Amino acid sequence: MKKIIFILILIISSVIIFIDTSVHSSRHENNSIINKKINTKIKYIRNFLAENKIKIDKEYLILLYNGFDCPSCIVKALKVIKKYTSQNRNVIIISSASNIHSEFEQANLDIDNIFVINDVHDSIRRVLAYPKTPLLFIINKDIITNVVTISYNDNYTIDMYIDSLVN
């Protein structure tokens, strides 16, 4: 009987590890596909930002946000933004809806380093074929890097993402 229970526990553990590994692998693939897609549209994104009086002459963290994203995903994105702006780095929030979750108001963000753009026509998300949001990425004048879709990531991945940005 003990052998059967041990074998069942071993099988269940193996299945859980396999599923967890598969999910993390697909998350990484999704982010790299989005990264490639965003980089093909970098000129459009730079022009959109220029129309909103933001010149990409330094590095910015961009939060692409739909006003109907889940509140817990927004909290995770704000955790990244708060850490990033605490080091006097700049953030651009592009919202495709006029309603902003109350989490933004409660986050106590350093607004000196944050630019907020209301993309009333949802043009950025449309050009990018409506990726899952919230979406964070780094933009400078030449390239877009560090793409992560918050809704697909667990807390550990978000913590690793923060560490990669601030180190």
pLDDT tens column, 123-166 = 999 998 888 888 899 998 878 888 888 865 567 777 788 788 77
- The predicted structure's pLDDT at residue 69: 83
Q: What is the C-alpha separation between 128 and 107, in angstroms, rounded?
A: 28
- The answer for residues whose C-beta is within 8 angstroms of residue 129's C-beta and 6 or more apart is 37
pLDDT tens column, 47-77 = 999 999 998 888 999 999 887 888 788 888 8
- The predicted structure's pLDDT at residue 27: 45
Entry pTM:
0.74
Cβ atoms of 96 and 122 within 8 Å: the answer is: yes
Q: Is the dihedral of CA 91, 68, 147, 105 positive or negative?
A: positive
Domain map (residue ranges) of the chain:
2-166
Cβ atoms of 166 and 87 within 8 Å: the answer is: yes
Class of domain 2-166: alpha beta
Give 35: exposed, middle or buried? Use CB within 10 Å, 0-12, 13-18, 19+: middle
- The predicted structure's pLDDT at residue 49: 92
